[in-house]
Structure formats: C-alpha cells, structure tokens
Amino acid sequence: MGLARLSSNEGDQNEFSIEYTSWLVEHPCALDKFEEMKSIAKGKKIVIFLDYDGTLSEIVPNPEEAFMTDKMRMVLGEVADRFPTAIISGRKREKVQDFVQLKNVYYAGSHGLDIEAPLNSLKCKDSNEMDNKIVLYQPAKEFLPEKDKVLNLLSERTKDIKGVNIEDNKFCISIHFRHVHSKDLGTVENVISVILKEYPNFLVSTGKKVYEIRPNIAWDKGHALEYLLENLGFGNSDDVLPIYVGDDRTDEDAFKVLRKRRQGFPIIVSANPKDTNALYSLREPKQVMEFLLGLMVLEQ
Ligand SMILES: O=P(O)(O)OC[C@H]1O[C@H](O[C@H]2O[C@H](CO)[C@@H](O)[C@H](O)[C@H]2O)[C@H](O)[C@@H](O)[C@@H]1O
C-alpha cells in the first residue's frame, strides 16, 4: 500500500511514457513504497537531507524566482521539528536561507562547501562560532580569493554573449545558459575552458542548463552528508536512517554515499527516466511534499 496522493497529477499514471513506466520498476515511486519504507524505518533515527532547486522548488526560467510554496515551507518546518533536517544546495547558503526562511533546518550551500548549523546542535571539531549563534564548516575557505578572480574573468569574457547569467554561489559559480542561443554555447564553453586552464584549482560540471564551477577538492554533497551525519552523532551508527532527496547530478554523490553505507533511502526527483544511483523516485516537488507529509506520522 502507498501514500494517498494529494497532487493535481493524481491518477496521471496512464499518461506516463513506456520508458518512464519501465524506469519506475527500477526506481519505484517512494509514495507507492511508503509502507515498506515505514517498516524499514521502525526503531531507527531518521535524518532528512534535501536538495533545493527542483526538489523543494520547481525549476523555473529565472533562478531568482525559484520560490518555495508556503505549503512546502509549512510541511518542511513541521518535519524539521521532528527529525534533523538539512538542505544541501549548489546555491550560496545565504540565498537558500532566504528562500526557505526556516530556523530549525541545517543549511549547506555551495554544494556542501559551506555548512551552517544552530550552535550546540553539531559536535564540530573544526567549527567557528559566528555571532554566537551558529557553527560553520567551510573546507574550501582558502579558495575564495581565487574564485573571485575566476568570477570576474567569467563576467568580463561573457558580457557580450546574450542570455548568459552568472550566479555567485560564494565558493562556487553557476553559469546559466538556459537563455543562450545554441549558436553561442560553444563560445561560452570555450570561455570556461580557457579560464579553467589558468585556474586549475577549479573544475566544471553540468547541471540543468547550467555550468557549475567549484574548487577542485575532494568534497561534494556526499561528503557534506557524511559530515552532518557524523556530527549529529550518527557516524558509524546502525540505528540511523538517512533519507536524501535530490534531482540533479551533484545529488548523485550523496546517493552513492547512502548506497555505500547500505543505509537509508536515496530518492531522485525526476519526471523523466535517467541514470541514477537513487533507489526510489518522486516525480516533482509536489510529490516531495507529499512524501514529507507522510513522514510526519513516523515516530522518532
Ligand atoms: O543543488 P541545487 O539546490 O539543486 O542547486 C543547483 C542549481 O540550482 C539553480 O539552478 C537551477 O534552478 C534554476 C531555478 O529553477 C533554473 O533556472 C536553472 O536553470 C537550474 O540550473 C541555481 O540557480 C544554481 O546556482 C544551482 O547551482
């Protein structure tokens, strides 16, 4: 038995393509598997990790307008009151906090390179106290001056390419090409690759209509997940059940960590079949909200 569906797409199973339907066999909908998941979760400490864009908010053409619905905020706030809950995003941490507006959530921005938690909530070894309120862990701090140089060069060298939108994500940089004409994409790629030859401490990956530049260090969303688990006291625990929900390539690093730990539920948000390390799926942010609502009946 699964969770009751609230979304407007209720019953749209019939509209699924054959490809999506057969992909669902490999990556079943987490709502349909809820009872099974519930029994696995029994007696375990649930910790929730969520990506932001495409998971808690819809993908929209303008990155500045990726707002979360009030309903999602309410559900997320309730869930975070019951279980430790972290948002791990490619965005600048402060930007995610601005969108989410919740104080009971752990935030990791810049693909996990900028972790913040309420003071005393984490047993951090390498933390700084900021304003007496929070602890921060920033493993790529020394890259900041160089990142600013890369950012300036990117802005300068793409300023004449129509549609390029560069987002400063503090330790990382997003170069959005959603609105760039296909004939100009090669130029954008060329600019990036020339700059990264000058700055080999940085690497580029791709997301949804975006190039993402970040420090070339062994730290990704998977490391952030492990860091948070460890500092929440669940480093080697068999009693913990981490749930990670995300929609993009960088979330795969976190899915891999859960697979390696043989623990928890890696859940991909996708309305299309895609290669993934996730075991379960959800179709859209609305379903993420239904899933979170379902978690509220679980005991912690
Ligand atoms: O890790 P995430 O929280 O998923 O962040 C990844 C990137 O998300 C944002 O870009 C994406 O969403 C935008 C708003 O829906 C969309 O316009 C864009 O095309 C997508 O790539 C964010 O703006 C980036 O900085 C993040 O790196």
pLDDT for residue 10 = 43
Whole-number Å distance between alpha carbons of 288 and 272: 16
- Topology of domain 48-72+82-99+109-139+225-267+274-300 in CATH is Rossmann fold (3.40.50)
Look at phi and psi of residue 112 and say left if phi exceeds 0, alpha if psi is from -120 to 50, else beta. left
Cβ neighbors of 291 (< 8 A, separation 6 or more) are 3, 30, 31, 34, 245, 267, 282
pLDDT per 10-residue tile (average), the chain, 300 residues = 56 73 97 94 96 98 98 97 96 98 95 82 52 76 98 98 98 98 98 98 97 98 96 90 97 98 97 97 98 87
pLDDT for residue 11 = 45
H/E stretch holding 185 reads: helix 182-198
Comparing C-alpha atoms, which of 125, 148, 144, 146 is closest to residue 136?
125
**Cα 259 to averaged position of ligand 1 atoms, centre (Å):** 25
Determine whether 15 is exposed, middle or buried from the number of CB atoms within 10 Å of its CB (0-12, 13-18, 19+). exposed
**Cα–Cα separations (whole angstroms), residue 244 to 36, 158, 224:** 17, 35, 12
**Cα 191 to averaged position of ligand 1 atoms, centre (Å):** 21
Ligand 1 neighbours by CB, cut-off 6 Å: 51-54, 59-61, 63, 66, 89-91, 167, 169, 174, 176, 178, 207-210, 212, 248, 250
Domain 142-215, classified CATH 3.90.1010.10, yes or no: no
pLDDT for residue 128 = 55
Determine whether 242 is exposed, middle or buried from the number of CB atoms within 10 Å of its CB (0-12, 13-18, 19+). buried
pLDDT for residue 298 = 81
Strand pairing report for 85-88 and 106-109: parallel
CB 88 within 8 A of CB 137: no
User: Any idea where the domains of the chain sit in the sequence?
Assistant: 48-72+82-99+109-139+225-267+274-300, 142-215
Distance of CA 34 to the CA centre of its chain: 22
**Cα 248 to averaged position of ligand 1 atoms, centre (Å):** 9
Whole-number Å distance between alpha carbons of 277 and 220: 15
Main-chain phi, psi angles of 77, to 5 degrees: -60, -40
Look at phi and psi of residue 28 and say left if phi exceeds 0, alpha if psi is from -120 to 50, else beta. beta
Decide: helix, strand or coil at residue 205. Answer: strand
- Name the residue of 53, 151, 245 to mutate for ligand 1: max ligand atoms within 8 A of Cβ: 53
Q: ipTM of this predicted complex?
A: 0.99
**Cα 208 to averaged position of ligand 1 atoms, centre (Å):** 7
Whole-number Å distance between alpha carbons of 134 and 128: 8
H/E stretch holding 70 reads: helix 70-82
From the alpha carbon of 207, which atom of ligand 1 is closest?
A: 21
